[in-house]
């Protein structure tokens, strides 16, 4: 995974940061031996992920299109990370 993501260091990618079903733009800011980091576009938070969190990476020379008619997005690469579903008060 490290060698794949290293190609996109300091570039925009699509990743499902806060919602398993919604891909948002983020910039890969680090690609280390055990983890990678992205900076989300909305809040400028830095998110660090172990490579074990990656479910799938989708890449194409021409980019990857995601979404439907009203929510179409185009990214250089798309990273799908696994999410833990949490239930608690208010759910």
Mean pLDDT (the chain, rounded) = 91
68 or 23: which leads in pLDDT: 23
* Per-domain residue ranges of the chain: 2-81
In the three-class reduction of DSSP (H, G, I as helix; E, B as strand; rest coil), residue 76 is classed as: strand
Residue 91 in this model has a pLDDT that exceeds 70: no
Q: What is the pLDDT of residue 62?
A: 92
Q: Using one digit for the tens of pLDDT, what is the confidence trace for 31-74?
A: 999 999 999 988 999 999 999 999 999 999 998 998 777 778 89
Long-range CB contacts for residues 36-43, cutoff 8 Å, separation at least 24 = 36/1, 36/2, 36/5, 38/13, 38/79, 41/12
Question: What proportion of the chain, given as a percentage, has pLDDT over 70?
Answer: 95
């Amino acid at each position: 995974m490290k060698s794949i993501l290293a190609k996109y260091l300091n570039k925009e990618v699509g990743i499902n940061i806060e919602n398993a079903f919604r891909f948002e733009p983020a910039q890969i800011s680090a690609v280390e031996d055990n983890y990678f980091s992205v900076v989300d576009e909305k809040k400028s938070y830095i998110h660090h992920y172990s490579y074990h969190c990656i479910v799938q990476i989708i890449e194409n020379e021409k980019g990857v299109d995601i979404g439907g008619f009203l929510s179409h997005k185009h990214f250089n690469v798309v990273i799908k990370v696994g999410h833990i579903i949490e239930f608690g008060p208010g759910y």
